């Protein structure tokens, strides 16, 4: 009975576990998506390092390539690639929820918005590939 | 099909115990019985001390939200037969303080709801003699989805951001703000902007998306929040470019 009165009830406050994100798959996917941002950031840093090496001349560029071929940068880059793809795919899949487009007064179906986002991804990738290989 | 199913119900009697406990009840397993019917059977025939909220029994009033086998559900729309042979675990909604048994304290949500002014705001009211504010079906379609919210709070229960940071204004309040922002008759979006665009407003949302999955009315609060983030960002850019109140 201690501490309880009819007008000031002791509310029980449920605490969230530190491991709440393991409770269901969607929470885990969300946390992985958040974590993927770290690898996206690393990809940007890696790209800047590459550009800088190219700027400093042939020798530095070769050194950078040799360094990139070592086991730990290689493993880091493979893991980063997986996370960057995961980040991109989940991002594009979520796009229709954030974008409401109307054409001739009718809401454009969500699948179309996602499809156009993927199409944009393919076009940009093809352009980059053309720059690297074709041009 | 067995003729009975076990309900494992969370009990919390603050005058007797410091923490909730679990009590089991055997209730008839009927094809047309929802979890709420099972709880009503307990209340009427087995244990009159069990406390929980309910009203309409048809998914309109939003009172009977509880956690059923770990998922936030309207117990009037969650059928016992889907959990056969059981047991069915019935807990109070997560992320809210528990007052007693399955009854949670909803004052925080009610206060937040009022903050976003979920009603039609007019700069100047027209006299009644001018007639009603007209709206085309296309204009109604803009906000109709968000108007389906029944304030059941399942989205708050599903949202880990609200669980971790109770200051977050939350999914339903933002969806309802959008319901009025997108209404052609409303002129209050600038008034709502201050509440929605602060840190505990839309920017608190990290887009877990569970609110949308939990919503029994397909309101898509996560979509409302992301769409409003675009609006809030545009308004911020506008106020930066035109600082002297030109917006």
Closest chain A C-alpha to B212 CA, distance in angstroms: 10
Its pTM stands at 0.88
E strands along chain B, which residues? 4-11, 21-28, 65-68, 71-74, 88-91, 98-100, 103-104
Number of A to B CB contacts under 8 A, please give it: 68
CA A23 to CA B219: how far, in whole Å?
A: 24
Q: Which of residues 10-69 of A touch B (CB under 8 A)?
A: 10-14, 16, 20-21, 23-24, 26-27, 30, 34
Q: Which domains does chain B have, with CATH numbers?
A: 4-104 (3.10.20.30), 107-241 (1.10.1060.10)
Least confident of A7-11, B7-11, B81-85, B128-132: A7-11
Q: Which residues of B touch A109 (CB under 8 A)?
A: none
A7 touching B (Cβ < 8 Å): no
pLDDT of residue A1: 43
CA B200 to chain centre: 17
Mutation target vs B (from A5, A13, A14; most B CBs, 10 A cutoff): A14
Contact flag A26-B207 (C-beta cutoff 8 Å): no
Contact flag A98-B229 (C-beta cutoff 8 Å): yes
Residue-averaged pLDDT of chain B: 93
Total residue length of chain A: 135
Closest chain A C-alpha to B132 CA, distance in angstroms: 23
Q: Across the interface, which of A12, A34, A100 has its CB nearest the CB of B97?
A: A12
Query: Which pLDDT tens digit goes with each residue over B16-64?
Result: 898 999 999 999 999 999 999 999 999 999 999 999 999 999 999 999 9
CA B34 to CA B82: how far, in whole Å?
A: 9
The band of B70, judged by pLDDT with boundaries at 50, 70 and 90, is very high
Query: Which pLDDT tens digit goes with each residue over B222-243?
Result: 999 999 998 898 888 988 888 7
Residue B77 contacts residue B154 (beta carbons within 8 Å) = no
Work out the average pLDDT over B6-25.
94
Closest chain A C-alpha to B129 CA, distance in angstroms: 31
Of B158, B178, B159, the residue nearest B225 (C-alpha) = B178
Q: Positive or negative, the Cα torsion across B176, B182, B185, B190? A: positive
pLDDT of residue A132: 86
Say whether pLDDT at A7 is over 50. Answer: no
ipTM above 0.90, yes or no: no
* Distances from the Cα of B69 to the Cα of B88, B89, B105, B106, angstroms: 6, 5, 21, 22
The residues that bridge with B7 in the sheet, in sequence order, are B25, B88
Q: Which of residues 71-100 of A touch B (CB under 8 A)?
A: 94, 97-100
Contact flag B208-A27 (C-beta cutoff 8 Å): yes
């Amino acid at each position: 009975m201690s501490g309880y009165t009819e007008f000031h009830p002791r509310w029980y406050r449920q605490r969230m576990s530190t491991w709440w994100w393991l409770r269901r798959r969607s929470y885990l996917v969300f946390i992985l998506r958040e974590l993927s941002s770290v690898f996206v950031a690393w990809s940007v840093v890696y790209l800047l390092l590459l550009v800088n090496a190219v700027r400093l001349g042939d020798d530095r560029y070769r050194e950078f390539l040799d360094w990139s071929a070592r086991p730990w940068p290689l493993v880091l880059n493979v893991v980063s690639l997986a996370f960057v793809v995961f980040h991109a795919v989940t991002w594009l899949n979520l796009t229709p929820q954030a974008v409401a487009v109307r054409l001739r007064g009718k809401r454009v179906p969500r699948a179309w918005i996602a499809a156009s986002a993927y199409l944009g991804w393919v076009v940009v990738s093809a352009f980059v590939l053309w720059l690297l290989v074709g041009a | 099909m067995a003729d009975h199913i076990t309900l494992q119900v969370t009990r919390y009697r603050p005058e007797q115990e410091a923490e909730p406990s679990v009590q089991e009840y055997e209730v008839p397993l009927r094809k047309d019985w929802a979890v709420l019917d099972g709880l009503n059977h307990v209340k009427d025939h087995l244990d009159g001390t069990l406390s929980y909220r309910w009203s309409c029994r048809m998914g309109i009033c939003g009172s009977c939200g509880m956690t059923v086998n770990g998922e936030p559900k309207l117990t009037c729309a969650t059928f016992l037969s889907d959990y056969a042979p059981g047991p069915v675990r019935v807990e109070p909604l997560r992320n809210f303080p528990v007052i007693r048994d399955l009854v949670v304290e909803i004052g925080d949500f009610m206060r937040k709801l009022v903050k976003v002014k979920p009603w039609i705001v007019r700069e100047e009211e027209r006299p009644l003699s001018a007639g009603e504010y007209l709206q085309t079906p296309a204009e109604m379609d803009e906000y109709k989805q968000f108007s389906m919210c029944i304030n059941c709070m399942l989205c708050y229960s599903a949202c880990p951001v609200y669980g971790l940071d109770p200051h977050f204004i939350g999914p339903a309040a933002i969806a309802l703000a959008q319901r009025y922002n997108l209404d052609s008759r409303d002129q209050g979006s600038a008034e709502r902007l201050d509440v929605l665009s602060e840190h505990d407003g839309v920017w608190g949302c990290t887009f877990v998306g569970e609110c949308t999955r939990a919503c029994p009315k397909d309101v898509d609060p996560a979509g409302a929040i992301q769409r409003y983030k675009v609006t809030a960002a545009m308004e911020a850019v506008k106020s930066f470019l035109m600082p002297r109140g030109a917006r």
